[in-house]
Amino acid sequence: MKRLIVLILLMAGTPTAQPAPLFEIDVRLRVVNSDMLYVVVQVDNRSGRKVTELAGYITESKPKERIVSEQRIVHVHPYDPVLTDGQTTIRGYTYPFEVSMDHRFRYHISRVTFRNDNRVFAWSPSDGLIRVE
């Protein structure tokens, strides 16, 4: 009887389990000298694979989701050492700081390649890996 209860509990928890995201993205804002805004983007590799190339875009938008600017940031170049599972890469970009403006930034991964895999992917938290090439 105890085994039956344990089996039912295990099976009940299986469909509700959420898979962990392949990459964790953290965007932080730093004000420098009251006239410059430094946007720091941290990407944690949780994919279980070695990443040989990682690039994306920082999008600055206004409160009504209108895009103000978009800048490309390369975290891992093809000639850099690989980003292994559990490692973190940090890059930043500077913007002029205006106190009256509501600064909102998002980061999107647009190019990911893995070691021993010649396919190129884009990644989003909602859709996962999307093959680009």
Task: Tell me the per-residue pLDDT of 53-91, one tens digit each, with 9 for 90 and over.
Answer: 999 999 988 877 788 889 999 999 989 999 999 999 999
Amino acid occupying residue 66 = R
Task: Tell me the per-residue pLDDT of 96-119, one tens digit each, with 9 for 90 and over.
Answer: 888 777 778 999 999 999 999 889
Per the prediction, the chain carries an average pLDDT of 85
| Domain range 21-131, its CATH number among 3.30.2290.10, 2.70.50.60, 3.30.420.40, 3.40.50.720 | 2.70.50.60
**Residue 64, token pair as written in the block:** 């009504």
What is the DSSP code string of 76-114? E-TTSPPB-TT-EEEEEEEEE--TTS--EEEEEEEEEEE
- Domain coordinates of the chain in residue numbers? 21-131
Q: Supply the pLDDT for residue 82.
A: 92
- Whole-structure pTM value: 0.78
